[in-house]
Chains A and B, each alone.
Chain A
Amino acid sequence: MSLLDVADLRVSFATEAGDVRAVDGVSFSVARGEVVALVGESGSGKSTVGLTLMGLTRRLGARITGSAALEGNDLLGASERELQRLRGRLMAMVFQDPMSSLNPVQKVGWQISEQIRAHEPRVSGAQALERAVELMDRAGIPQARSRVRAYPHELSGGMRQRVMLAMALSCEPGLLIADEPTTALDVTTQAQILAQLRELRERTELGMLFITHDLGVVADIADRILVMRAGQLVEQGEADAVLRAPRDPYTQNMLAAYAPRPARSPRTPGGPLLETHELSVAFRGIKALDGVSLTLNEGETLGVVGESGAGKTTLIRCLIRLMDPTGGTVRFRGQDVTHAKRRELRPMRRELQMVFQDASASLNPRRRVEWILASGLRLREVPRAQWRARAADLLERVGLRPEHLERFPHELSGGERQRVGIARALSCDPRALVLDEPVSSLDATVRARVLELLARLQEESGLSYLLVSHDLMIVRGVSDRVAVMRRGRVLETGPTEQLFSAPQHEYTQALLAACPKLPGQVRSAV
């Protein structure tokens, strides 16, 4: 007998721009102890399904039809009062963003025990808190007893996510809806959480609806897969079957995009272009960079990987002199960047451009694409009359159409925005680009296309890239050489294939081991 039955679920939102059909006729079921993965590109309606089952889209003004039953309880027709009884006790949800999903002004222990007491009125406050400690402990939070008194902001992202998990499981629900529970985490933490969920399912027959766009994670945990696109289910089936032999063209595309790119054939690098020597940065005693020496050669791509907080962004900001290092130097074509005066810096700046991690934050939301591109052209003293044509050219180079010139950043998709970001960097006619996680905010299909674009530009104009990422797979596909960073230090550097097949440092080895893999993918090392 299945735990959850959903039939012909349709959800639409009335917005200023008309109705948005977020979910458009979705039917599936989840059995006890089964993990069903819901995958699909951004905006396909995955979260809406989860939220609707929890009854949380009602107050957003959604129109909902179809049926959904959880252990015989009608979820869609239930009154708010009945839903309150079900939420947390029979079904629980873990939300995508653990920082914003916890109340910032309440202690985490209180937040967990609050749920327990809401459903079990006879439990005393102290008992509930005791259970919270236990739950947090089981969720793998070290020193749970003292951490119950912590506020959310005092915990790391991973710990916050585990608190969410502990909270969701506090009343031992039958169904857990997990909305991208690991997206915010680095690979090692992600692996730990996935292991916990697996263990939980074994132990408590927990049924799970696991929402994600990461196929690697799906392969790791799911029994069955549902693929969504534009509000509809385009494919569903056993996990292995879908991953090995996708039938729907969209799924095939997605898988293809995810598949790691073959390592590049090594090329002959030119002379050194950008060098750092013993670069150090300290923030109030914290060493964000601790003696980093790296070299980027002409025409090559240097990948820098490292977990969150490793100092990657700090490194990049020093390279382009958005920040002054506490020690060490940066040289660009032999010239000292670190101590250059503002006037000397200008020509260097043009040649050394940056692509930012968050494409939407790096584009002025109040300016049209044309203006954004023209601002670079103006600095090159291109006559005003040519701006528009040149801007259109640039767009073409990054695979966009001239009509995009008229748009504001918010009118572009994530991938398009990142392309504009690249076009802006190109507008200065640079020799080298430093790229801070240029694709990590994009979903898999778009990501692949942007990486392709970068490769093509490099072919065309011999640019050098310094590409920073926390994702090993990305770095692997595009880099000639790779450097691994941790806690402000470079642990090892080497040609891509060599580093991946024979990592020297044990941290690199751990990092590689933690990477989720699709079935059929051969682990390259360990």
Chain B
Amino acid sequence: MTAPRPGTKSPPAGRGPWLLAWRRLARSRTALAFGGLFLGVAVLCLLAPVYAHRVAHTGPNENHITETIKIGGKNEEVTSPTGVPIGPTWHSRFFLGADANGRDVAVRLLYGGRNSLEIGAVATLITMLLAVLIGTFAGYFGGLTDGLLSRLLDVIWAFPPVLLGVALGVALAVGGLDLGVVKLTSGSLLLPAFIIGVVFVPYVARPLRGQVLSLRGREFIDAARVQGRGHLRILAGELLPNLTSTIVVFVPLMLANAILLEAGLSYLGAGVQDPNPSWGTMLAEGIRLTPGAIHLVLAPGLMLVIAVLGVNVFGDGLRDALDPRAVHRAIVMRSPRGTQPPALEGS
């Protein structure tokens, strides 16, 4: 018997769940502020060419190794004879200093951000597409379909993500990947995006499968079946709308994780290919040059943390807004370093 429990109050009439969520989100100022922060970073990165041409007067791949610049009247070398690059000048040229190749770090940071964000976005898209397909089919059809798809997820799952990423990265770095429909050439940004996208599929597909599994037993699905509706209609018409909030919640989470994994892979040399900068490759190069050039670590590192933090805080607020009664809070926030508990059967 389900008499309404105290605490569930009926919201104002005529308002869909989305509108309500939006209202809640709009009221969560921290979430919006950090979402804005991320957007700000993204816009800044998109404006990279403007900064490069108008302010820094150099491109992301232009080397200035043996040049000197004037700072406060003094001539300074961009890189020292032993290869130590100049630190932040806080002037229009080499605002954040130079890297070993005498390239303007600020310019590269913005171009690198474009690449990092692009990879993050594409990887998230790939993850979500595959995960929704696999998760819903496995959960809805059950049986053999579920068995096969679940084993597939298990395999990706048990494969240590970083090892899988690096191995695939190395394997595909020269020849690229021919998927029949699309051909990813080596050096293409889509390649790391594809790898990262695949690695994360189980993290999303498993909870989705679990949710579909429990939705499948709900009476409104029975109702649709009683009406004689086909499976695909039921999937698209009845199930999908109920998964959207989960999907939406996962998007920022995966975006954040994809950007982080890109950095990790680039650090291990299997991410973005030269000379395309990305925050990860810049960090990796910077770490090699510490301690003399800590700015090479701090600049991309902090930028990365700020962008990912923006996404994460926003995602956190989004989660609360979409489901204040916290069904999704149980969806564990994931880092690429770990794994997520499998949705426990029988709970």
Residues of A at under 8 Å CB distance from B?
13, 15-17, 20, 22, 42-43, 47-48, 51, 60, 96-97, 180, 183-184, 213, 317, 320, 322, 345-346, 349-350, 353-354, 356-358, 360-368, 375-376, 379, 406-408, 410-411, 413-414, 421, 424, 428, 440-441, 443
Contact of A43 among B1, B4, B24, B219 (CB under 8 A): B4
A505 → chain B closest CB, angstroms:
26
B242 close to A366 (CB less than 8 A)? yes
| Least CB distance, A193 to chain B, in whole angstroms | 15
Residues of B within 8 A of A (CB): 1-7, 9-17, 23-24, 218-220, 222-229, 237-238, 241-242, 244
**Complexed CA–CA distance, A359 and B6 (Å):** 19
Chain B's closest residue to A424 (CB) is B223
* A356-B222, A366-B17 known; A60-B229 Cβ under 8 A: no
The answer to whether B223 and A345 have CB atoms under 8 Å apart is: no
> CB distance A376 to B24 under 8 Å?
no
Contact present for B13 and A411 (CB under 8 Å): yes
**Complex: A48 Cα to B227 Cα, angstroms:** 41
* Complex interface: chain B residues within 8 A of A354 (CB): 222-223, 226
Contact, CB under 8 Å: A356 / B223:
yes
A364:B238 contact, CB within 8 angstroms: yes
Contact of A364 among B5, B225, B242 (CB under 8 A): B242
**Cβ contacts under 8 Å, B229 to chain A:** 375, 379
In the complex, residue of chain A having the shortest beta-carbon distance to the beta carbon of B9: A15
> Is the Cβ of A441 less than 8 Å from the Cβ of B1?
yes
Give the residue of B2, B13, B23 whose beta carbon is less than 8 angstroms from that of A407.
B13
The answer to whether B24 touches A358 (Cβ under 8 A) is no
Query: How far is A396 from B228 in the complex, measured between Cα atoms in Å?
Result: 24
B14–A349 touching, CB < 8 Å: no
Q: Which of A13, A361, A440 contacts B219 (CB 8 A)?
A: A361
Taking a contact as CB atoms under 8 Å apart, the answer to whether A180 and B15 are in contact is no
CB < 8 Å neighbour of B12 from A17, A96, A350: A17
Question: Contacts A20-B9, A322-B225, A441-B3: A411 and B241 contacting too (C-beta < 8 A)?
Answer: no
Partner of A367, one of B11, B218, B222, B241: B241
A376→B220 contact, CB < 8 A: no
Q: Residue of B at shortest CB range from A48?
A: B6
- CA gap between A243 and B1 in the complex, in Å: 25
Known contacts A322-B225, A375-B227, A411-B15; is A366 also within 8 Å of B244 by CB? yes
Q: Which of A361, A424, A443 has the largest count of B CB atoms less than 10 A from its CB? A: A361
The reply to whether B13 and A180 contact each other, CB–CB distance below 8 Å, is: no
- Kindly report which residue of chain B lies nearest to residue A97, judged by CB atoms: B5
Name 6 interchain pairs, CB-CB below 8 A, sorted by A: A51-B6, A354-B222, A362-B220, A365-B17, A414-B4, A441-B1
Majority DSSP secondary structure for residues of B touching A? loop
Are B6 and A47 in contact, CB atoms less than 8 angstroms apart?
yes
Decide: A408 and B17 in contact? CB cutoff 8 A. yes
A322 to B223, CA, bound (A): 10
C-alpha spacing A259/B219, complex, angstroms: 31
Our count of residue pairs bridging A and B at CB distance below 8 angstroms stands at: 107
Beyond contacts A345-B228, A363-B220, A406-B14: 8 other A-B pairs, Cβ-Cβ < 8 A, are A353-B226, A364-B241, A366-B242, A375-B224, A408-B16, A411-B10, A424-B223, A441-B1
Instruction: Tell me the complex Cα distance, A349–B238, Å.
Output: 18
Which of chain A's residues have a CB closer than 8 A to the CB of B1?
Answer: 183-184, 440-441
* Chain A neighbourhood of B218, CB < 8 A: 361-362
Q: Which residue of A lies closest to B238 (CB)?
A: A364
Give the distance to chain A from B343, nearest Cβ to Cβ, in Å.
18
Question: Cβ of A60 and Cβ of B244 under 8 Å apart?
Answer: no
Evaluate whether A364 and B14 lie within 8 angstroms (CB atoms) in the complex, with A345-B228, A346-B228 already known.
no
**What distance in Å separates the Cβ of B150 from its nearest Cβ neighbour in chain A?**
23
**Contact of B2 with A358 in the complex, beta carbons under 8 Å:** yes
Complex Cα spacing A183 to B5, Å: 13
Once the chains are docked, how many angstroms separate the CA of A214 from the CA of B60? 77
Complex Cα–Cα for A234 and B209 (A) = 50
How distant is the Cα of A43 from the Cα of B9 in the complex, in angstroms? 9
Chain A residue at minimal CB-CB distance from B324: A16
A365 and B2 CA atoms in complex are apart in Å by 16
Pick the most buried of B6, B7, B229: most chain A CB atoms within 10 A of its CB.
Answer: B6
Query: B226 to A441, Cβ gap below 8 A?
Result: no
Shortest B42–chain A CB gap in Å is 30
B contact residues around A180 at 8 Å (CB): 3
* A42/B11 in contact, CB under 8 A: no
Question: Which B residues are in CB contact (< 8 Å) with A184?
Answer: 1
Q: Enumerate chain B residues within 8 angstroms of A410, measured Cβ to Cβ.
A: 10-11, 17
Are A360 and B228 in contact, CB atoms less than 8 angstroms apart? Answer: no
Chain B: CB-nearest residue to A414: B4
Residues of chain A within 8 A of B6, CB atoms compared: 22, 47-48, 51
Among B2, B219, B228, B237, point to the contact of A356 (Cβ < 8 A): B219
Q: Which of B7, B17, B219, B228 makes the CB contact (< 8 A) with A379?
A: B228
**Closest CB-CB distance, B315 to chain A, in whole Å?**
21
The residues of A that contact B12 with a CB separation of less than 8 Å are 17
* B228 x A349 contact (CB < 8 A): yes
Chain A residues, CB < 8 A from B244: 366
Cβ contact of A365, chosen from B4, B15, B224, B242, cutoff 8 A: B242
**Bound state CA distance, A382 and B12, in angstroms?**
32
Interchain CB contact under 8 A, B222 and A362:
yes
Quick one: given A60-B7, A183-B1, are A407 and B14 in contact (CB under 8 Å)? yes
Q: B14 contacts which chain A residues (CB < 8 A)?
A: 406-407, 411
Q: Name the residue of chain B whose CB is nearest to the CB of A51.
A: B6
Q: How far, in angstroms, from A48 to B16 measured CA to CA in the complex?
A: 28
Asked, given contacts A20-B9, A365-B17, whether A349 binds B241 with beta carbons under 8 Å apart, the answer is no
Q: Shortest 9 CB-CB distances between A and B: which pairs? A: A366-B241, A362-B219, A349-B228, A346-B228, A364-B220, A361-B219, A356-B219, A354-B226, A411-B13
The reply to whether B227 and A376 contact each other, CB–CB distance below 8 Å, is: yes
Q: Give the shortest distance, in Å, between A45 (CB) and chain B (any CB).
A: 9
Complex contact B24–A16 (CB within 8 A): yes
Q: Tell me the minimal C-beta distance from A363 to chain B in angstroms.
A: 6
* B16 A42 Cβ-Cβ under 8 A: no
Is B11 touching A350 in the complex (CB atoms < 8 A)?
no
Residues of chain A lying within 8 A (CB to CB) of residue B2 = 358, 360, 441
Q: Given A180-B3, A364-B242, A408-B16, are A379 and B220 neighbors across the interface (CB < 8 Å)? A: no
